[in-house]
């Protein structure tokens, strides 16, 4: 054969199947564009002047690998639809005398043309939009804008490498499918799999059990640390469970519809349910994929949007005062009083307004009824997960000073404040320390003292005696955390530059030997300034928000393409059926009603499952947001609700457009 024949056949094949090739090429180009933008931002010099730039660039680098892996998996998945549509054509080539080696050459040229157009278009769009992406990122980060336009050779090289490898693998997979199929099998590929699938009761039940277990984990999770540890386990369970339920459950669902004679034996339902029941195993996998992608979009958009709009409250929660100093001590007897600290600051020209001062001792304990066991190493894994609490011992005098209250306690009394947990007891006993009668449950406390674990704050009358008794109860070492700390915070009324200057001065001041005597002999310290740390928050939250937008666009493109290919492939499968039905008397109106019945029966199931997944994941995601000091449940609920409504509207639009494509295929065949 002439060498020019293969490129011509490849071009003709792409033109004749443009209905499936064009969406695939556009989606590939979109993913190349997103990948280029992410890599460009990871190496952009415009971000160097922003505080937290290194963290930001590392997150973008990680995001680029997420897009690369997802692109590979998704393009393999959708490429199956494309090759399945071409198998009949390749079978015809084989019968006419073209062997598998020649067909592989046609595939090579098709893959080459598709790769060149996709990567070139994606790079052109990425380069054109990269500056807008950079300006948007700098604006989110509140940095200084630079209008210089730069093309990143590294980003171009990475795009060519990653997507070049993906297209090579796609080509090899296509050749493998053609190589191990006979000419007759290729010709009948579009009508293959017409045997009614059998629902697997065991797989469906396992899927329901996995979903139920994942939901229980998400709802019952107690603290952010446990949520972080179990998040990926729960996600994996939801993914596997969703696929099993859709694949096996959808077959069972069609059987139930068939048994319902009043529903099944109607013109608009009979054809749709019959055709669905034959291909529901493959159809279920597609619906499950759409559901998982929709869930990912809703989770990413709602959480990152909540983080971005709640970053100010997160900064204030983490740093309740403009300047915050923390000193660690070996003994409560070495902690200085408030006058000593204020005199030291005044002598060094550091103003202090709206001060907050308190001492606390932190340790972990297992709560068993009204008893606290300090030996947490003796608890089982399940008991530690459900009953371990972070305890903070605080003096009633410090509470009265900080909150402006006038609480009084007897020697055996205590006040209690709980965060992310409850303690419904009348007394609390700590062995070898004593038993405290709970006088009152406090409804508010000092900002910033709660931890990421469920926390119990015990307000006692004698801080020194209580802490001494606890510290001598056990030989605390690296296995038993026991931290005695002085917390001192104050406002200055100064701007960013003034606070930054005071932060640096304070940091140097606490290192001086003569000042150590004034503050007490501490064994560790930390200094933070709200305005200094704010930039790091903006860097982390802004980057996550931006990555969330880009990843959401990628996942939405993937979901739309799966929906489109699903409608296209089913349209070509059903065109012959509807042609026969029309010949035996079925009107065009009845065809339209049957199509709508078929599409509506299963099309919105993925959206319903996605909303259900997000609803049950809400408590777990809220706990994860606590790790970033974001404890605004109402804001997260609002962003989740808006995201779900917006995605539902978008999903309905996609349904309308793709169902029209399906109807045109079926109607064109019948005409």
Of 99 and 374, more confident? 374
In a domain, 546, yes or no: no
Residue among 364, 361, 422 nearest 393 (CA): 361
In a domain, 550, yes or no: no
Return the axis-axis angle of helices 530-583 and 100-140, rounded to nearest 10°.
Answer: 140
- Among residues 162, 192, 222, the one where a domain terminates is 192
pLDDT score at 497:
81
Of 294 and 265, more confident? 294
In a domain, 314, yes or no: no
Residues spanned by the domain of 301: 205-307+556-671
The enclosing H or E element of 456 equals strand 455-460
pLDDT in tens, 3-13: 677 788 888 87
pLDDT in tens, 287-334: 788 888 888 888 888 888 888 888 777 787 778 888 888 888 877 777
* Percentage of residues of the chain with pLDDT beyond 70: 75
In a domain, 33, yes or no: yes
> CB burial class (10 A; 0-12, 13-18, 19+) of residue 202?
exposed
pLDDT score at 160:
92
**565 and 465 within one domain:** no
Is residue 161's pLDDT more than 70? Answer: yes
CA distance 193 to 646: 37
Of 415 and 70, more confident? 415
> CB burial class (10 A; 0-12, 13-18, 19+) of residue 167?
buried
**665 and 618 within one domain:** yes
CA distance 295 to 606: 9
pLDDT score at 193:
46
**574 and 513 within one domain:** no
pLDDT score at 475:
59
**460 and 385 within one domain:** yes
Taking residues 638-652, report their average pLDDT.
Answer: 88
pLDDT in tens, 445-486: 877 666 667 788 889 998 888 888 887 766 555 456 788 888
CA distance 633 to 640: 10
**186 and 209 within one domain:** no
CA distance 134 to 546: 10
**452 and 386 within one domain:** yes
Kindly indicate the confidence band of residue 194, based on its pLDDT and cuts at 50, 70 and 90. Answer: very low
**211 and 125 within one domain:** no
Cα separations in angstroms, 455 against 227, 321, 630: 15, 21, 16
**186 and 219 within one domain:** no
**7 and 134 within one domain:** yes
In a domain, 153, yes or no: yes
Q: Phi and psi for 401 in degrees, rounded to 5?
A: -70, -40
pLDDT score at 117:
92
Q: What is the mean pLDDT of the chain?
A: 77
pLDDT in tens, 543-601: 778 778 887 887 887 788 777 777 777 666 666 666 666 666 666 666 666 666 666 66
Please state which of the ranges 259-268, 508-517, 527-536 shows the lowest mean pLDDT.
259-268
Q: Sign of the CA dihedral 151, 546, 141, 542?
A: negative
Kindly indicate the confidence band of residue 196, based on its pLDDT and cuts at 50, 70 and 90. Answer: very low
Q: What is the DSSP letter of 182?
A: -
In a domain, 533, yes or no: no
pLDDT in tens, 653-663: 887 787 777 77
Radius of gyration of the chain (CA): 32
Is residue 417's pLDDT more than 60? Answer: yes
**169 and 24 within one domain:** yes
259: how many CB neighbours lie within 10 A of its CB? Answer: 9
In a domain, 574, yes or no: yes
Domain total of the chain: 3
Kindly indicate the confidence band of residue 116, based on its pLDDT and cuts at 50, 70 and 90. Answer: very high
Is residue 143's pLDDT more than 80? Answer: no
Q: What is the DSSP letter of 2?
A: -
pLDDT score at 157:
92
Please give the angle made by the CA atoms of 100, 103 and 108, to the nearest 5 degrees: 125
**134 and 21 within one domain:** yes
In a domain, 382, yes or no: yes
Contact 211, 245 (CB under 8 A): yes
Q: Sign of the CA dihedral 259, 285, 197, 651?
A: positive
- Among residues 141, 163, 192, the one where a domain terminates is 192
Give every CB contact of residue 220 below 8 A, 6+ residues apart in sequence.
none
**287 and 151 within one domain:** no
Kindly indicate the confidence band of residue 124, based on its pLDDT and cuts at 50, 70 and 90. Answer: very high
Range among 199-203, 257-261, 305-309 rated most confident: 305-309
- Among residues 192, 220, 240, the one where a domain terminates is 192
């Amino acid at each position: 054969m002439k060498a020019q024949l293969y490129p011509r056949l490849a071009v003709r094949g792409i033109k004749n199947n443009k209905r499936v090739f064009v969406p695939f090429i556009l989606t590939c180009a979109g993913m190349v564009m997103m990948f280029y933008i992410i890599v460009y931002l990871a190496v952009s010099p415009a971000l160097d002047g922003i505080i937290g730039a290194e963290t930001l660039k590392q997150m973008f680098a990680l995001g680029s690998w997420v897009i690369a892996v997802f692109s590979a998996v998704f393009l393999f998945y959708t490429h199956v639809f494309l090759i399945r549509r071409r198998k009949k054509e390749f079978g015809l080539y084989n019968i006419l005398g073209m062997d598998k080696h020649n067909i592989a050459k046609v595939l090579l040229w098709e893959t080459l043309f598709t790769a060149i157009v996709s990567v070139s278009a994606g790079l052109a769009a990425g380069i054109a939009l990269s500056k807008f992406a950079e300006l948007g990122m700098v604006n989110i980060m509140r940095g200084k804008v630079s209008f210089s336009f730069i093309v990143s050779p590294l980003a171009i090289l990475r795009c060519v490498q990653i997507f070049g490898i993906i297209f090579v693998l796609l080509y090899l997979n296509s050749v493998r499918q053609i190589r191990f199929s006979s000419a007759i099998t290729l010709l009948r590929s579009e009508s293959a799999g017409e045997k009614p699938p059998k629902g697997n009761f065991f797989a469906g039940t396992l899927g329901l059990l996995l979903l139920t277990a994942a939901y229980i984990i998400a709802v019952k999770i107690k603290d952010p640390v446990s949520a972080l540890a179990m998040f990926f386990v729960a996600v994996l369970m939801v993914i596997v469970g969703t696929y099993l339920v859709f694949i096996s459950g959808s077959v069972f669902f069609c059987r139930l519809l068939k048994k319902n004679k009043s529903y099944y034996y109607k013109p608009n339902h009979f054809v749709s349910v019959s055709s669905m029941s034959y291909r529901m195993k493959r159809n279920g996998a597609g619906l499950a994929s759409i559901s998982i992608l929709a869930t990912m979009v809703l989770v990413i958009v709602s959480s990152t949007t909540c983080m971005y709009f709640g970053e100010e409250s997160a900064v204030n929660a983490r740093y309740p005062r403009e300047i915050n100093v923390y000193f660690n001590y070996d003994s409560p007897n070495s902690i200085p009083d408030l006058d000593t600290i204020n005199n030291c600051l005044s002598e060094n020209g550091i103003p202090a307004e709206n001060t907050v001062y308190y001492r606390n001792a932190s340790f972990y304990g297992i709560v068993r009824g009204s008893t606290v066991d300090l030996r947490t190493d003796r608890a089982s894994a399940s008991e530690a997960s459900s009953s371990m609490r972070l305890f903070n011992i605080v003096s009633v005098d410090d509470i009265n000073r900080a909150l402006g209250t006038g609480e009084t306690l007897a020697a055996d009394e205590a006040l209690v404040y709980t965060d992310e947990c409850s303690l419904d007891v009348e007394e609390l006993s700590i062995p070898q320390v004593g038993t405290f009668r709970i006088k009152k449950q406090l409804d508010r406390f000092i900002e910033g003292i709660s931890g990421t674990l469920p926390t119990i704050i015990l307000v006692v009358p004698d801080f020194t005696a209580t802490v001494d008794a606890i510290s001598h109860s056990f030989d605390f070492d690296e296995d038993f955390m026991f931290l005695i700390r002085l917390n001192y915070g104050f406002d200055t009324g100064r701007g960013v530059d003034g606070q930054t200057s005071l932060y640096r001065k304070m940091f140097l001041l606490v290192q001086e030997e003569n000042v150590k005597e004034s503050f007490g002999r501490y064994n560790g310290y930390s200094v933070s300034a709200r305005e200094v740390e704010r930039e790091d928050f903006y860097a982390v939250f802004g980057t996550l928000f931006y990555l969330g937008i880009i990843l959401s666009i990628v996942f939405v493109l993937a979901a739309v393409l799966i929906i489109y290919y699903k409608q296209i492939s089913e349209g070509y499968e059903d065109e012959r059926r509807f042609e026969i039905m029309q010949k035996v008397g079925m009107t065009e109106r009845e065809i339209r009603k049957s199509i709508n019945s078929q599409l509506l029966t299963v099309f919105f199931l993925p959206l319903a499952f996605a909303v259900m997944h997000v609803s049950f994941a809400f408590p777990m995601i809220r706990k994860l947001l606590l790790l970033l000091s974001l404890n605004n449940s109402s804001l997260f609920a609002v962003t989740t609700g808006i995201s779900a409504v917006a995605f539902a509207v978008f999903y309905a639009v996609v349904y309308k457009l793709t169902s029209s494509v399906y109807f045109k295929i079926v109607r064109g065949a019948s005409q």
